[in-house]
Amino acid sequence: MPKVSRGVWVTRPQPGAEKTRAALAEAGYTAVVVPVLEIGWVSPNRPAPDWPNWAILVSQNAVEGLARAFGELPDTVCCAAVGQRTAQAARERGWQVEMVPEQQDAQGLAEALAECSLQGAKVWIPSGDRPGSARTTLPEALRQLGAAVEVIQVYETRDRHPTHREIDSLLATPTDAMLVHSPSAAHAIFASPITIVQGWRTEARTVAIGTTTRATLAELGVNSTQARDPSTAGILAALDEAFNKPRSAP
């Protein structure tokens, strides 16, 4: 537990943001939830599904969007989840989760799937509308393994502006660290003209969730500490690392 309660800005969309806030509060942080993105659900324009052999789940939003679009998956569909939280969301729906990689990111998932026999397998990857691993990295890797891959958009990500109450919450919270969960969140934060957001950008340590997010932050000229995975333990370890290294360290 931190010796002095440090402020952490949770920038991810709901409902996941509240789970992160609660975990940080339990660890002794003063966490404020002000999402910079919001999720809208999309119904694919397609007939009744010809079910795949595999569904590759890269986020909890992908699970929710796939369920909203097609209902429950039959037992014949095997699921691979990028991390334990995504796997839990799928299992809560009764889906068959066959794989969660030890390295909980897109690269780890692609490497784990390379150990499977995917030649000729039909694979769905439910995704959002913005560039990312679900739309590029994973499809390319799985096609090289002989899979017939279909990327299905089931949600869209929109930039979100803080309310007046949320701005007051940011003003009242120590600007110690912020969690950036995606490349889209990184772009939204570092393009914002809002004064308090600019203050957090200048003063707070930045923790990146995932290699792609950290790479995006680096492209924006931002030093960040990368969480080894998106779990609570991974985030807490990254916060400890961020607070224990010099501000100028990469």
> Please, which pLDDT band fits residue 106 given cuts at 50, 70 and 90?
confident
What is the reported pLDDT for 3?
47
> What does the pLDDT average to over 207-224?
93
User: What digits encode the pLDDT tens for the residues 107-122?
Assistant: 889 999 999 889 999 9
Same domain for 187 and 130: no
pTM recorded for the entire structure: 0.83
What is the reported pLDDT for 246?
76
What is the span of the domain harbouring residue 201? 7-36+160-243
Say if 2 falls within a structural domain. Answer: no
DSSP characters over the chain: --SS--EEEE-SPTTHHHHHHHHHHHTT-EEEE--SEEEEE---S--S----SEEEE-SHHHHHHHHHHH-SPPTT-EEEESSHHHHHHHHTTT-EEEE--SS-SHHHHHHHHTTS--TT-EEEEEE-SSSSTTTTHHHHHHHHTT-EEEEEE-EEEEE-PPPHHHHHHHHHS---EEEE-SHHHHHHHHH---HHHHHHHHHSEEEEESHHHHHHHHHTT---EEESSSSHHHHHHHHHHHHTS-TT--
What is the reported pLDDT for 4?
62
> Is residue 2 over pLDDT 60?
no
Q: Residue written as tokens 């004064």?
A: 195
Between 105 and 160, the more confident residue is 160
Same domain for 135 and 221: no
Same domain for 238 and 133: no
> Is residue 38 over pLDDT 50?
yes
Same domain for 186 and 96: no
Give the domain-ending residue among 113, 128, 157.
Answer: 157
Same domain for 32 and 48: no
Say if 20 falls within a structural domain. Answer: yes
**For the chain, percent of residues with pLDDT exceeding 90:** 74
What is the reported pLDDT for 48?
64
What is the reported pLDDT for 248?
56
Same domain for 200 and 178: yes
Same domain for 151 and 56: yes
Say if 249 falls within a structural domain. Answer: no
Compute the mean pLDDT over every residue in the chain, rounded to the nearest whole number: 91
Most confident of 1-15, 126-140, 210-224: 210-224
User: What digits encode the pLDDT tens for the residues 185-200?
Assistant: 999 999 999 999 999 9
Domain count, the chain: 2
User: What digits encode the pLDDT tens for the residues 129-160?
Assistant: 987 767 888 999 999 999 999 999 999 999 99
The answer to whether 25 and 47 are in contact (CB under 8 A) is no
User: What digits encode the pLDDT tens for the residues 39-55?
Assistant: 999 988 776 678 999 99
> What does the pLDDT average to over 75-104?
93
> Please, which pLDDT band fits residue 72 given cuts at 50, 70 and 90?
confident
